[in-house]
A = this chain, B = another copy of it.
């Protein structure tokens, strides 16, 4: 059985939200123990991960060093985090496996994800990134072409395009490594976004971020995974979230979950894309998708714990 696990970017920072190098390393080491537990059950695992807090740090660096070193675009920030988080996962997962008597090799592939240059997201950026700034500073960035949103008391925050992933360009490399026995880390941060030049056919990076769960759903199908596990902060998806009627969802059909989503049950920036990814994976032919917390991924895969989405 092959399982693709999508780890939240928040699972790779400290419990207090700290994204220092030490906090990231400690969090990844903890996460990889849970992944190794799953491998120890004889499950074939592929990994992908988010990178929100990490890209946030890189954007601050871009901004504060801009007078000396030219800032780099969001696709480069994504590529940078594939390097660092991929590196942490290599060390931590190999160690967690060794502690369980498993001598498996892990490999991280720099991964591009194709998006459509005509995706409406480029006209209507909606994904908040980086830190909050006062209006005057936001205005300076807006003057240079960036989109910033007034979020009231907290200040202004940059919003960027989050286009739909179409294809995981480097999935064949991930598959070749998987076939050779490696546990593969791919499409980190949803993949580095690229568009195809219509005349030359060349792929080029584009200023955008890709939802890592939506990318994971495509990668899971491309690699013929049986199960997509979306590991997040909560054990189950909840309807009526934050109300007295809050109810966790156990087993549910893709259609029923899609209906709840259409009724506005899930927040756009948080549970919404996870639900969409689960629905897409199952509707595309995946056996089942599970949304649960990192600590429960083995229970989810072997015992049906969490919010389990099936075709019917």
Contact = CB atoms under 8 A, between A and B. Distances in A.
A69 interface: yes
Nearest to A57: B69
A110 interface: yes
Contacts of A91: 112, 194, 202-205
Contacts of A64: 61, 64-65, 68-69
Contact of A110 (B90, B95, B172): B90
Interface stretch (A70-78, A145-153, A256-264, A303-311): A70-78
A177 B267 CA distance: 40
A87 B76 contact: yes
When all copies of this chain in the complex are counted, the total is: 2
A21 interface: yes
A173 B182 CA distance: 8
Nearest to A204: B91
Interface string A186-225: 0000001010000011111100000000000000000000
Contacts of A204: 91
Closest 10 CB pairs of A and B: A83-B83, A79-B83, A107-B173, A176-B180, A108-B110, A80-B80, A61-B61, A64-B65, A95-B202, A61-B65
9 contacts: A20-B70, A76-B83, A78-B83, A79-B84, A82-B83, A95-B201, A95-B203, A176-B177, A180-B180
